[in-house]
Structure 1
Amino acid sequence: MAKRKVYGEHREFQARWEAEYMFTEVKGKPVCLLCGESVAVMKEYNLRRHYETSKKHKDRDKNMDTEQRLQKVEELKRGLKSRQALFTKAKSQSEAAVKASFLVAEEVAKSARPFREGEFIKSCMLKVCDAVCPDKRQLFSNVSLSRNTVAERVNQLSTNLKEQLVEKGKDFIAYSLAVDESTDTTDIAQLSIFIRGVDSSLTVTEEFLALRPMHGTTTGQDLYEEVSRCVNEMGLPWEKLVGLTTDGAPAMCGHRSGLVARIRERMRDENVTEELTAYHCIIHQESLCGKALKMEHVMTIITRAVNFIRAKGLNHRQFKAFLGELDTEYGDLPYHTDVRWLS
């Protein structure tokens, strides 16, 4: 004989069980109105056993007649509904507070501000709330914006964006990479990697893929290992790589040991027949144009003038005042750099 299954018996809650055993039905499950516990199987024997043996509500309704029991059931059902509504409201408010926390953390990250700015923002929010809607102060107080919370929210947002990019990468029919390496204010080399991919519907996705700190050397082999690790983490096949954009540094475009040469060697090892197209990074276009047009005599004079203006604070202040008097479009100029000349 086949074993009986609960879902196949079509058991339904009986209205008489409310008065007899103080039970009601909540989302398809019998729930005791006296203690709030639910019974796994909707069966009269189980409800009666719980009603007669539970120590939490023993003898609580022993002396009630039928009418009193019905009144008690209705009172307990109203109490249960109010508790459920309160729980739903609290849950909704909690979800709203978490969502608000994520929104503020996203704005903090976009503006490149320190994570501790969240506490300052919350302080401003509470002051505005006291002036505009003081009755809603508790809702604003529930929004957690401590330094650790903002850092955790930003990390979760970053992880989610990476997961979305990985999912999009699975549909790429071709993609290209752009790589640039610069040194930050703490003398740590930072390798920036960008990706541009296209899927079968010709939808182009261009995103910042990774920022990898390089604490040691920055040779072509070091750059290749970081780029290769990033590509493998994304699950991108090498045969779909069609382009690579770098600057003109030897570590990037060296013919033997540069990043471009090593990636081409890796693609040959992967039996990729398509040729990798290497591009020169367009962020250096001003410097490249100056060198290609042989305007060193002009660039040298301009560089000397810029350095004279920015070398001393007095010169800089006087120059800015002069531009203000002329009502020029630009009110200042940066230091001269070979990489980003006046860009």
Structure 2
Amino acid sequence: MSGSRKRKVDSECRVFNKEWTAKYFFVESRSMAVCLICQETVAVFKEYNLSHHYNTKHGNYASKQTSQQREAIALRLAAKLHAQQSIFHKQNAIQEAKSKEKFEKISLSCRTVTRRVELIEEDIATTLITKADSFDFYSIALDESTDIKDTAQLLIFIRGINNNFEIMEEFLAMELLKGTTRGEDLFDHVSAGLEKMRLPWSKLVNVTTDGSPNLTGKKFVLLKRIQDRVKEDDPDKDVIFLHCIIHQESLCKSVLQLNHVANTVVKIVNFIRAKGLQHRQFIKFLEDTDADHEDLLYHSRVRWLSLGKVFELVWEIRTEIGTFLESQGKSDAFPELSDKTWLSDFAYGVDIFSHMNDLNVKLQGKDQYVHDMHTNVTAFKSRFSLFSKQISKKNFAHFPTLATLKEDIQDVKKYSRSLDDLHGEFSCRFTDFAKI
């Protein structure tokens, strides 16, 4: 390989510069840059990353001090950090020595490991059965999917509450569906899972599904069988059936009619990342131009947050992408990057997906209650009317990305109509929660 193509670490800013300690209050620790002020780490030794962290989070810190005073402050903070790390390393070494001594006494033969795994499984099952006996009511969540080997799997989660208002949420079972996956088959596996844990049907109050056709098909076989089984024990009881609130929020994106934008963005990402050499050249190009980002992300339809993240990243480096495509002689393959109307739609997509991703994050996590989740959805839905009125008046206060192109926007009414359609879709999809 010629000398001009050799990778030079110094020229790529991958060596920590000691001047950054007084300038940005960072030191090198374990091959990472550590902020002396907040102890956050930056993995890549790049001056832009360090300056961005300092300016956005600690811009006013020691800003009026002289360079000598800043050096003194940096030394004091570095000494304090070193003392904290020394204590941690000492304690960690003691714990590792004790763990190693205990580990050496454990028999690790195949038979022993198998037996102990089985004992752990029995202990977890026994604990769950004991807790389930005290449930006054419980609900289950069902998620049916297929792995990479086309094996259908049914995941069952449970949440129960006792008379002391203590709530327990656990993973109940994973059932492999080796044959057909009709509603009757799914019901048999759900019934077997509940009976194995000795959970009475009469205490079941809610079933939440992920919305797959097998779980909520036209004939609703699974849901009907569950309702009929509950009524056998308690004729007056009606089970509440809900569709996963996060899944419904994701499905609402379909009314935005931004497929022409998404398809082009995904096509650009796939073009750059499809070939290893081309991908490496693009990363090198971003490094040479000191871009805000170092690579592109793939979009996965399974991961609901990914499209918004990909939109945001491609938008922020769209200029660098255009220059790179031109250097590869492929600028004509993506004329949309110079189309003002398409760019306006792209900017609108960046902003609206950012809003929806914020809601999506609020809906995730353990120990979430349905009334809190529905409150977040209702509050978010009410904002669409405000957004629609503002955009119709060319007020882009809540759409900062679109605001950068406000002079080029020819038709703001289509964005207003899009928000009205999104409001209607939210109102339609979440009616089951409103009935609770």
- Please give the alpha-carbon distance, in whole angstroms, between the structure 1 residues aligned to 2:159 and 2:174: 16
C-alpha distance after superposition, 1:143-192 (max 9, x if no partner):
11234433322221121111101111111111111111122222211211
State the secondary structure of the residue aligned to 2:234.
coil
State the secondary structure of the residue aligned to 1:187.
coil
Deviation at 1:221, TM superposition (A): 1.2
The letter for the 1-side match of 2:147 is D
Deviation at 1:274, TM superposition (A): 2.5
C-alpha distance after superposition, 1:39-69 (max 9, x if no partner):
xxxxxxxxxxxxxxxxxxxxxxxxxxxxxxx
- Among 208, 221, 241, which residue is 2:184 paired with? 221
- Please give the alpha-carbon distance, in whole angstroms, between the structure 1 residues aligned to 2:109 and 2:285: 45
How many pairs are equivalent?
A: 211
The verdict on how the C-alpha distance between 1:327 and 1:233 changes in structure 2, with shifts beyond 3 A counting, is: same
The verdict on how the C-alpha distance between 1:238 and 1:292 changes in structure 2, with shifts beyond 3 A counting, is: farther
Within a 5 Å distance, the mapping from 1:169-318 to structure 2 comes to: 169-285=132-248, 287-318=250-281
Deviation at 1:280, TM superposition (A): 1.7
State the secondary structure of the residue aligned to 1:235.
coil
State the Cα RMSD in Å: 3.3
The verdict on how the C-alpha distance between 1:280 and 1:236 changes in structure 2, with shifts beyond 3 A counting, is: same
State the secondary structure of the residue aligned to 1:264.
helix
- Please give the alpha-carbon distance, in whole angstroms, between the structure 1 residues aligned to 2:208 and 2:110: 37
2:301 alignment partner in structure 1? 337
State the secondary structure of the residue aligned to 1:211.
strand
C-alpha distance after superposition, 1:225-275 (max 9, x if no partner):
101110111111112111111122221012424422321222233334232
Q: Runs of 5+ in structure 2 lacking a partner?
A: 1-92, 308-436
State the secondary structure of the residue aligned to 1:251.
coil
Task: Kindly indicate whether the alpha-carbon contact (under 8 Å) linking 1:176 and 1:244 is maintained by their aligned counterparts in 2.
Answer: yes
Task: Kindly indicate whether the alpha-carbon contact (under 8 Å) linking 1:176 and 1:243 is maintained by their aligned counterparts in 2.
Answer: yes
Task: Kindly indicate whether the alpha-carbon contact (under 8 Å) linking 2:144 and 2:212 is maintained by their aligned counterparts in 1.
Answer: no
The verdict on how the C-alpha distance between 1:290 and 1:304 changes in structure 2, with shifts beyond 3 A counting, is: farther
1:326 alignment partner in structure 2? 291
The letter for the 2-side match of 1:326 is A
- Among 130, 143, 162, which residue is 2:125 paired with? 162
Percent identical among aligned pairs is: 42
Q: Which has the higher contact order (CA 8 A, sep 6+)?
A: 2
Q: Runs of 5+ in structure 1 lacking a partner?
A: 1-127
State the secondary structure of the residue aligned to 1:210.
strand
The verdict on how the C-alpha distance between 1:132 and 1:142 changes in structure 2, with shifts beyond 3 A counting, is: closer
The letter for the 1-side match of 2:185 is D
